[in-house]
Amino acid sequence: MSPGEQSAGRRLSVITIDQAIAGASNVLIAVLAARLLSVTSFGLFGIVFLVYVMVQGISRALVCDPLLVHPVEGQERLGDVIGTSCLLGPALGAGVLVAGLGAHLVDPRLGNALMVLAVCVPLLVLQDLGRYVAFATQRPGSALVLDVAWLVLLFAGVGALVATDTRTLPWFIAAWAGSGAAAGLLLFAQHRARKVRLGLSWLRYTWPFSWRYLISYTSTIGAALAASVAVGAIAGSKALGGLQGAMLLVRPFMTFQVAAIAASIGEVSRMDAGDPQLRRHVGRTSALTTGIALVNMIVLLALPDRLGEMVLGASWDTAKPLLLATGVQIVCLGAMTGVRAGLLGVRSIRKVMIIDVATTVLILVVTIPGAVVDGALGALWAVTLGQGLMAVVWWMTFLAHTGRAEPAATATAAAPLPPVTAPSPPPA
């Protein structure tokens, strides 16, 4: 193994530790919500968490993901990157605030919780940006510091709620989102030597690229939302609750998958489509994520009823029949993880966008008949088969693209950014 591959392996090891902590934190917060809140408030927490995921996805599409694909430019203009997020965060927070005011008319608990989240969004965006900066600059230890800080502060916040017997949804959101917001302040300490330049220059600089990311993200999250609504409408809210419970149990893999893509893009972005190391790196990443998915699936299938009920409560009986299909689905997702990172890393975002949109259409087409035939289980198996088919499409596209050692063609497909002046090499 070459020194470069050894360094990449060490970075991936740190990222794996970081994502183990992040994944455990995500599961922990969901379990704490299920245990500390009432059944109704736990359902509302799911809505608040989904809003957070949507906000996070928009921020990543417009700022963080382009940073990974253009790490040298991002490092040279890190003040612009942070400054853009400093303006984008409050704008996203204002959107959540408006949603909270509207939701307050329907359910004051949900409205208050969203308003608390809105206050925390600007710093939550910076906490997430700090992790992506760490991946882009190949310093994953900084991401580990941010995630550990959030976890420690979360324990302190939830401990205070337990000590005072405070079990309302808005206060729970304050403990969870507030601890993440406080951890986000560490971004300024980690990059205190960088002059933050408030403005949207980084967004303007990456717009020829980032709008495709935004379409890919919105199509993916839109398909997930539409599929959930379809399952709830056809199979009932109880079946939808079981589906959400099953998805909660695979959240460790999903968190690791996101980080594996982020880390791999940072590595691959320094290669071109004809680099012989590219396919090896993509193969290792896919093998690792598939292995994590298999471990997660085995844990699901071996989970004792008592432990399942402890985690999911009344939702366990409905979620248990869905675990095999859920496990197979994450294995399919694991198989395509490295390929997606590879295509993004060589700046073939146009191909990624087309596949994402095609996946959206496929999921919408198969979910409804699957739910009609066998409720949530039928819908889940239909989506799983669709994901398996798309894994084949991802690999065929990647192999065809990397079979052509044409960096110029790759750059054209990716809508390149204008050059920066005298970029310095990335840190070792």
Does residue 16 or residue 129 have the better pLDDT?
Answer: 129
Query: In the predicted model, what is the mean pLDDT of residues 12-25?
Result: 68
When pLDDT is averaged across residues 9-37 and rounded to a whole number, the result is 72
The predicted pLDDT at position 426 comes to 29
At residue 422, the pLDDT reads 29
CA 146-147-152 angle, to 5 degrees, is 100
Rounded Cα–Cα distance for residues 181 and 154 (Å) = 11
The confidence score (pLDDT) of residue 424 equals: 31
What are the tens digits of pLDDT across the range 241-287? 777 778 878 877 887 787 778 777 877 777 776 677 888 888 888 99
Q: For the ranges 43-47, 63-67, 94-98, which has the lowest average pLDDT?
A: 43-47
**3-state SS, one letter per residue, for the chain:** CCHHHHHHHHHHHHHHHHHHHHHHHHHHHHHHHHHHCCHHHHHHHHHHHHHHHHHHHHHHHHHHHHHHHCHHHHHHCHHHHHHHHHHHHHHHHHHHHHHHHHHHHHCHHHHHHHHHHHHHHHHHHHHHHHHHHHHHCCCHHHHHHHHHHHHHHHHHHHHHHHHCCCCCHHHHHHHHHHHHHHHHCHHHHHCCCCCCCCCCHHHHHHHHHHHHHHHHHHHHHHHHHHHHHHHHHHHCHHHHHHHHHHHHHCHHHHHHHHHHHHHHHHHHCCCCCCCHHHHHHHHHHHHHHHHHHHHHHHHHHHCCHHHHHHHHHHHHHHHHHHHHHHHHHHHHHHHHHHHHHHHHHCCCHHHHHHHHHHHHHHHHHHHHHHHHHHHHHHHHHHHHHHHHHHHHHHHHHHHHHHCCCCHHHHHHHCCCCCCCCCCCCCCC
pLDDT digits 0-9 by tens, 110-156 = 899 999 999 999 999 999 999 888 877 777 788 889 989 999 999 99
pLDDT for 353-372, tens place per residue?
Answer: 899 889 888 988 888 898 88
pLDDT of 117 reads: 97
Say whether pLDDT at 13 is over 70: no
Q: Residue 177's pLDDT band (boundaries 50, 70, 90)?
A: very high
Least confident of 187-191, 331-335, 387-391: 187-191
Average pLDDT taken over every residue of the chain: 81
**pLDDT value, residue 185:** 93
Segment 24-32 mean pLDDT = 78
Q: Check whether 226 has a pLDDT greater than 50.
A: yes
Q: What percentage of residues in the chain have a pLDDT greater than 70?
A: 85
